[in-house]
């Protein structure tokens, strides 16, 4: 044991404990580690409840989760306990991604099956709307000394909003429109009629010839 401790540059007591544990359980770590401190207030059922709540409601605040535990599980805990429990469960707060509540998975599946018949990428035209103003370049984070806020002077006015309507194909840009203001239904339909539909008629006539 002294030779092993010297080669590994660890204490003789550590080597003795590891060897003893291996002789008792067949592994180098204790299968039932000794726990210190008082028993945790939240049991496995409470942890399962927290997991279900945060899965169904990812944007829930700590005080709201505290209220849920008190009213449903009948467990009174502090906000610090809720925060530590979430950290112990590997749950962290991050930017929230949103999905449309109106989305119908069955209809979405039918659409995917219908689109599977098109194997030629040249039949697709992709359109999307984007916009930019003075708030677009704002950054959400910043650096400052500990205990001091990160402050940056910037304009609070959005300024003139510019929108862009592009139409992309596998060969590149098909049509493009840039204008002041926002995109509404009427403007989008007009863009389709004047820039996409008319080109489809031109292509159809060209193919016929």
Task: Tell me the pLDDT tens digit for each residue of 161-196.
Answer: 889 999 998 888 888 999 898 889 899 999 988 888
Instruction: Based on the fold, state whether residues 184 and 131 are members of the same structural domain.
Output: yes
Q: pTM for this one?
A: 0.46
pLDDT in the model for residue 35: 59
Q: At what angle do helices 79-88 and 62-72 cross, to 10 degrees?
A: 100
Domain hosting residue 57, numbered range: 40-95
Same domain, 10 and 70: no
Interval 6-63: pLDDT, tens = 888 888 888 898 898 888 888 887 776 665 666 778 999 999 999 999 988 888 999 9
For the chain, the domain total comes to 3
Q: Are residues 44 and 26 in the same domain?
A: no
In a domain, 110, yes or no: no
Dihedral angle sign, alpha carbons of residues 122, 127, 133, 139:
negative
> Quick one: pLDDT at residue 208?
43
Number of Cα atoms under 13 Å in the Cβ half of residue 164: 10
Same domain, 52 and 90: yes
CA-based torsion, 102, 176, 134, 181: positive or negative? negative
What gap in Å lies between CA 52 and CA 46, rounded to an integer? 10
144 located within any domain: no
**Kindly report the CA angle at 113 between 112 and 117, in degrees rounded to 5?**
105
Percent of the chain residues topping a pLDDT of 70:
90
């Amino acid at each position: 044991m002294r030779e092993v401790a010297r080669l590994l540059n660890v204490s003789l007591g550590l080597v003795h404990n590891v060897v003893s544990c291996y002789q008792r359980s067949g592994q180098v770590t204790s299968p039932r580690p000794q726990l210190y401190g008082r028993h945790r207030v939240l049991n496995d059922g409470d942890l399962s409840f927290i997991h279900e709540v945060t899965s169904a409601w990812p944007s829930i605040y700590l005080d709201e989760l505290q209220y849920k535990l008190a009213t449903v599980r009948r467990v009174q805990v502090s906000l610090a306990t809720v925060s530590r429990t979430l950290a112990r469960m590997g749950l962290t707060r991050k930017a929230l991604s949103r999905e449309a509540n109106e989305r119908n998975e069955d209809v979405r599946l039918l659409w995917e099956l219908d689109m599977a018949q098109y194997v030629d990428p040249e039949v697709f035209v992709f359109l999307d709307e984007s916009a930019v103003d003075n708030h677009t370049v704002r950054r959400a984070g910043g650096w400052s000394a500990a205990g001091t806020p990160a402050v940056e002077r910037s304009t609070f006015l959005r300024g003139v909003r510019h929108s862009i309507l592009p139409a992309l194909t596998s060969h590149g840009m098909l049509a493009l429109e840039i204008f002041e203001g926002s995109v509404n239904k009427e403007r989008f339909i007009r863009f389709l009629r004047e820039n996409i539909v008319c080109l489809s008629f031109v292509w159809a006539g060209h193919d016929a010839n």
